[in-house]
Amino acid sequence: MRALVVVLASLLFLLTSVPAQGAASVGEVLGGVVSQNNVLLEGAEVILDSVGRSSTDGQGQFTFSGVPPGNYRLTISKQGFPSYSRAMSVRAGVTERVEVTLAGLAELPRSQGGSVSVPLIRTGNAFLVRALVNGGREALFYVDTGASITTISKGLARDLGLSVGPGSPTVTLVTVSDRIEVPVASVESIQVGGVEVRNVRVAVVDLGGGSQVAGLLGNTFLSRFHMQLNPVQGVLTLAW
């Protein structure tokens, strides 16, 4: 009887151990696909050579599970956009994350009501989104739902040809340690996730020459929408 119990216990150990070992011996590829103007692209064809093919869902996402470790080529295509291809490695027990931007602009929403979901880029405790300013200038913006006004850097203002200086109208910004007067101007358009707001009032601030961030997306843009920021899913939803 004791021998039978030992045998059964051994079999149970083997059966419960196999899935864990199997999961640890393969990897996973998760990815997202957006257009150049940051619209999530549904229905893009995704091929991972020697593994299979998939297509992006309504959030622009795709998944390949149970991928053996090795080197692969990932190819993504969608009608109306140039194809994208890259080599990548998959490691055992690791989820490889791939964010792809297809060159070209997606069609802007035309309906009177709807919503878009915009992928967020996390940096520490803050979130960034990609935007197009004046239809062609790509820029990164912090999302700040508590900011009354959108801000842009002096460098971006210069690139856009905005003239600010002595005599320009100003606004008072409250910082952590001070209150500062900064010039204000109007940007012709800002697009996020394919939706556009025109004639956006902005404050022009000095972000320092080394910053890769062009500004802060505040309520002169965000208040045009019903907005929901989901940090768990990493998505900003803008509804109108």
Which residues in the chain come in under a pLDDT of 50? 1-21, 111
Q: How far is CA 150 from the centre of its chain?
A: 19
Instruction: Look at residues 237, 188, 233 and name the one whose alpha carbon lies nearest to residue 32.
Output: 233
User: Which pLDDT value is given to residue 4?
Assistant: 38
Residues 36 and 138 in one domain: no
Residues 129 and 198 in one domain: yes
Say how many CA atoms lie within 13 Å of 36 toward its Cβ.
12
Residues 85 and 168 in one domain: no
- Taking every pair of Cα atoms in the chain, the longest distance, rounded to a whole number of angstroms, is 96
Residues 140 and 72 in one domain: no
Within-domain flag for 212: yes
Within-domain flag for 110: no
Cα 106 to Cα 230: distance, rounded to the nearest angstrom = 23
Write phi, then psi, for 156 (nearest 5 degrees).
Answer: -65, -40
User: Which pLDDT value is given to residue 1?
Assistant: 45
Which domain-ending residue is among 74, 102, 130? 102
Q: Is 111 helix (H, G, I), strand (E, B) or coil?
A: coil
Residues 234 and 121 in one domain: yes
Answer whether 15's CB lies under 8 Å from 7's CB. no
User: Which pLDDT value is given to residue 17?
Assistant: 40
User: Which pLDDT value is given to residue 60?
Assistant: 84
Helix, strand, coil shares of the chain, percent, nearest 5, are: 15, 50, 35
Residues 86 and 185 in one domain: no
Beta bridge partners of 61: 32
CB neighbour list of residue 40: distance below 8 Å, 6 or more residues apart = 32, 33, 34, 56, 58, 59, 60, 116, 117, 118, 119, 193
Within-domain flag for 10: no
pTM metric for this prediction: 0.59
User: Which pLDDT value is given to residue 13?
Assistant: 40
User: Which pLDDT value is given to residue 35?
Assistant: 84
Residue with tokens 């900003």: 236
CB neighbour list of residue 234: distance below 8 Å, 6 or more residues apart = 119, 120, 122
Cα 100 to Cα 81: distance, rounded to the nearest angstrom = 12
Judged on CB neighbours under 10 Å (0-12, 13-18, 19+), 7 is: exposed
Within-domain flag for 9: no
User: Which pLDDT value is given to residue 206?
Assistant: 84
Beta bridge partners of 158: none
How many domains are there within the chain?
A: 2
| Structural domain of 156 | 115-239
User: Which pLDDT value is given to residue 209?
Assistant: 54
